[in-house]
Chain A
Amino acid sequence: MKEKFKSNRNSTVSYSLVIALFIILSIMSGAGLLGRKYSSLLVPVCCYIVAAIGLNMNVGISGELNLGQAGFMSLGAFTAVIVAGALNFHGVTAPALVLLICIVCGTLIAGFLGWLMSIPVLKLEGDYLAIVTLAFGQIIVNIINNVYLGIDENGLHFSFVNNSIQMQEDGKMLISGPMGATGVNTASSFLAGFLLVLISLIVVYHIMNSRNGRAIMACRDNRIAASTVGINAVAEKTLAFVISAALGGAAGALYGMNYSSFAATKFDFNLSILILVYVVLGGLGNMTGTIIATTLLVVLPEVLRFLSIYRMLIYAVVLIVIMIVTNNQTIRLRLKNLRQNKKESGKGAKTNG
């Protein structure tokens, strides 16, 4: 009962944080306080938050290290481009509608392929599982890099490895191999990003608080013990993996519709690692933490722009220091003591955590 209460409070904190941030940032952005630089970060931040929440489902809740989340994002992003291209070509241009269809398609495709991949992936354990997700991430990027896709009045034209597409006069290339997606009409907005974050939180919390969620966590904590009480470990882990992939796809679709051009190489190993960093920094299984960490780490390099060439160096140092401070037992203990002392002098101004 207490546990249930706690998780409810967790989700309340998450929801109120997201809503509060949305309202504050919308007002700030509307009043021109953010400038273009930070306003333009709003949608990417939402993308990364959704991708990170998804990955946290896999890494935090299900306990399987996944190094291929960027691959699922790329599936979502390129699906979105194709769908949006087709819709635009047939005269559907209302951004909200296009975006909605794109995100749904991106989610479904990434989720489906995630399910296919989960069949081999979940046969493995630990670091072997991690390397296979890395492998799938690389394979997806490598394949998309060789895809050529165009649209004209006869429909979609597809060619692989070498561009051999011959199109009608009104034809338009949607994906041209290494050059990636070009000339998409952007459709993403901060509101859409916010709604997507909210929906993914609802999905994740719903699963976490359900019977399935508890089963997933039981498998994480002790797979054998969980199996002995009749939990189908593979099925539960598959659920977590597919949700993670689907949210990655949704994030990718939002991302794809926010930039007019991007290439498959954007979604490489480094991006997967970056999203993993958000998750670990935010805390495994902690969605509120993930949201905060993602926001901080996406904005940090932009805030550090004044450091010029030292920017990425300082970013690395900050990353290492944060990891040590938040994960070292001694330092954590000391911080805790410090806070306790403060609280005693402050006569419990805040509720007990």
Chain B
Amino acid sequence: MKKKFLCLGLIAALCGAMTACGSSAGSSSVSSGSASGTVTKVSGDAFKLGASGPLSGDASVYGIAVKNAAELAIDEINKKGGIQFELNFQDDQADTEAAVNAYNTLADWGMQVSLLTVTSGSGQSVAPLYKQDNIFAITPSGSSTAVIYQDAENNKDPYGNIFQMCFTDPNQGKASADYLAEHTDLGTKVGIIYRNDDNYSTGIYNTFVAEAKEKNLKIVSTGTFTKGATDFSVQIKQAKDAGADIVFLPIYYQPASLVLQAAKNAGYTPTFFGCDGMDGILTQDNFDKSLAEGLYMLTPFSADATDEKTQSFVKAYKDKYGETPNQFAADAYDAVNALAQALENSDVTPKSSTDDITAALTKQFTSMTFQGITAPGDITWNENGEVSKEPRAIVIKDGAYVSAE
């Protein structure tokens, strides 16, 4: 009985704590924001920029990259004067439920603009909430069409206030198939290995297959795997036995490096072809670069690009975090800068209502062109929130990225 009273006391205390947090949302959340690594605490005139992504769990590599790059971009923007940002980045563990909690935390904090989420699944679950509260969001890396369309099957009913910095998955699948159809010297018989419980991978796979049919690409084998898989010997063996001379890998670089290892073990040397998730493969500590020799990928960003913008970003990122930025970081950096540019060109201030900010940003994004580090040329958006930019084809030669053409 006593134990129960103790527990009841605990609950009461907790309720108290919750109220404290709830009622003094302003002050306590700002301090929590700064504790979770938010950059500058700008007094007063800063736009409250919210974001959520996995900072713990097995997808945290992407969340941390986005958080780091966003902080870097905001540091630079705030130093310039003019538009000021205050970032609150919440952990959502790449989990749909945690993402909703993170969204509500941000809403309590008074978020005005947002980077939505890092992963597609989370983005999909909070997008209706963003629509409901009419807050403008641009996701650096949530590439599924379900993030920007309410009816993702038919690409109908866009949310309208949610934009993407990265290519949508279908676009990547289509672009990959087109590239392979044009470059038949790489090979003509395609094997595919994709992760069938992941919407990034499945999204690319589906459009790739549809487009490949159109372009008369021959798909000779299809292998799948699920979260946490480590053994790819069967998938590789099937591709090898089917005589595939190209293996398409619409997957992230961590499983991809295991696929490459399995191919090496099997003495199988086709041309491997990946999408933007493949970027980062060379940055793994101690990676055996010979594995990735001759690997092609379509990616918006390469850390080895020689243009000034990319180089200064890569240098600043390396100086600050001691790692080479990957494509997630680059997309986040661009997303924040695009937001800054759009806010610069509109007449809203941090004191404006979120409805005004959202209206102004939507207008800016659908009309402006932006130049960043994730495309060689101009970047534009259509009214559905889809980005239009030129993908780069990259091939790895002697352990470094080289433009493929």
Write the B1-33 contact mask toward A (1 if CB under 8 angstroms, else 0).
111110110110011011101110100000110
Inter-chain contacts of A212 with B (CB < 8 A):
none
CA distance A306 to B105 in the complex (A): 11
Write the A163-176 contact mask toward B (1 if CB under 8 angstroms, else 0).
10000000011001
* Residues 190-208 of B contacting A (Cβ, < 8 Å): 196-199, 202-203, 206
Write the B54-93 contact mask toward A (1 if CB under 8 angstroms, else 0).
0111000000000000000000000000000000001100
Instruction: Determine whether A329 belongs to the interface, using a CB cutoff of 8 Å to chain B.
Output: no
CA distance A210 to B397 in the complex (A): 74
* Residues 350-385 of B contacting A (Cβ, < 8 Å): none
* Residues 107-149 of A contacting B (Cβ, < 8 Å): 142, 145-146
A308 lies within 8 A of B55 (CB): yes
Distance from A314 Cβ to chain B, minimum over Cβ atoms (Å): 11
B108 lies within 8 A of A37 (CB): yes
Inter-chain contacts of B128 with A (CB < 8 A):
260
Inter-chain contacts of B150 with A (CB < 8 A):
183
A306 lies within 8 A of B31 (CB): yes
B35 lies within 8 A of A307 (CB): yes
Inter-chain contacts of A289 with B (CB < 8 A):
4, 7
Choose among A173, A177, A178 the residue with the greatest number of B CB atoms under 10 Å from its CB. A178
Distance from B159 Cβ to chain A, minimum over Cβ atoms (Å): 12
Instruction: Determine whether B124 belongs to the interface, using a CB cutoff of 8 Å to chain A.
Output: yes
Instruction: Determine whether A262 belongs to the interface, using a CB cutoff of 8 Å to chain B.
Output: yes
Inter-chain contacts of B15 with A (CB < 8 A):
24-25, 28
CA distance A323 to B90 in the complex (A): 28
CA distance A353 to B18 in the complex (A): 29
Inter-chain contacts of A339 with B (CB < 8 A):
2
Which of B95-103, B246-254, B331-339 faces chain A?
B95-103
Instruction: Determine whether A345 belongs to the interface, using a CB cutoff of 8 Å to chain B.
Output: no
B146 lies within 8 A of A261 (CB): yes
Distance from A143 Cβ to chain B, minimum over Cβ atoms (Å): 12
Distance from B39 Cβ to chain A, minimum over Cβ atoms (Å): 13
Instruction: Determine whether A206 belongs to the interface, using a CB cutoff of 8 Å to chain B.
Output: no
Distance from A282 Cβ to chain B, minimum over Cβ atoms (Å): 9
CA distance A289 to B3 in the complex (A): 9
By secondary structure, the A interface counts as helix
By secondary structure, the B interface counts as helix
Which residue from B7, B36, B144 sits with its C-beta under 8 Å from A179? B144
Closest residue of A by beta carbon distance from B95: A266
Choose among A37, A172, A288 the residue with the greatest number of B CB atoms under 10 Å from its CB. A37
Instruction: Determine whether A311 belongs to the interface, using a CB cutoff of 8 Å to chain B.
Output: yes
Inter-chain contacts of B25 with A (CB < 8 A):
35
Interface size on A, residues (CB 8 A): 59
* Residues 99-135 of B contacting A (Cβ, < 8 Å): 100-101, 104-105, 107-108, 121, 124-125, 128
B96 lies within 8 A of A261 (CB): yes
Q: A35-B25, A178-B196 are in contact. Are A288 and B4 (CB under 8 A)?
A: yes
* Residues 259-302 of B contacting A (Cβ, < 8 Å): none
Interface size on B, residues (CB 8 A): 56
Inter-chain contacts of B100 with A (CB < 8 A):
40, 259
Inter-chain contacts of A32 with B (CB < 8 A):
22
B14 lies within 8 A of A296 (CB): yes
A296 lies within 8 A of B11 (CB): yes
A35 lies within 8 A of B196 (CB): no
A182 lies within 8 A of B124 (CB): yes
Inter-chain contacts of A303 with B (CB < 8 A):
14, 17-18, 21
A353 lies within 8 A of B2 (CB): yes
Q: A34-B18, A34-B19, A288-B4 are in contact. Are A311 and B56 (CB under 8 A)?
A: yes
Inter-chain contacts of B35 with A (CB < 8 A):
306-308
A37 lies within 8 A of B96 (CB): no
Distance from B207 Cβ to chain A, minimum over Cβ atoms (Å): 12
Instruction: Determine whether B153 belongs to the interface, using a CB cutoff of 8 Å to chain A.
Output: yes
CA distance A250 to B95 in the complex (A): 21
Instruction: Determine whether B243 belongs to the interface, using a CB cutoff of 8 Å to chain A.
Output: no
Distance from B245 Cβ to chain A, minimum over Cβ atoms (Å): 24
Write the A6-45 contact mask toward B (1 if CB under 8 angstroms, else 0).
0000000100010001001100100011111111110010
Give me the 4 closest cross-chain CB pairs, A-B, nearest first: A353-B1, A35-B22, A308-B36, A306-B32
Kindly list 14 other residue pairs between chains A and B, CB separation below 8 angstroms, not including A33-B19, A260-B128, A266-B96: A35-B23, A37-B104, A176-B153, A179-B203, A261-B96, A261-B121, A262-B96, A263-B121, A289-B4, A296-B10, A303-B21, A306-B31, A311-B56, A353-B1
**27 sampled A-B residue pairs with Cβ under 8 A:** A17-B8, A28-B15, A28-B19, A35-B18, A36-B104, A36-B108, A37-B21, A37-B101, A37-B108, A38-B22, A40-B100, A150-B153, A179-B121, A182-B124, A182-B152, A183-B151, A259-B96, A260-B128, A289-B7, A292-B10, A302-B105, A305-B36, A306-B32, A308-B36, A309-B37, A353-B1, A353-B3
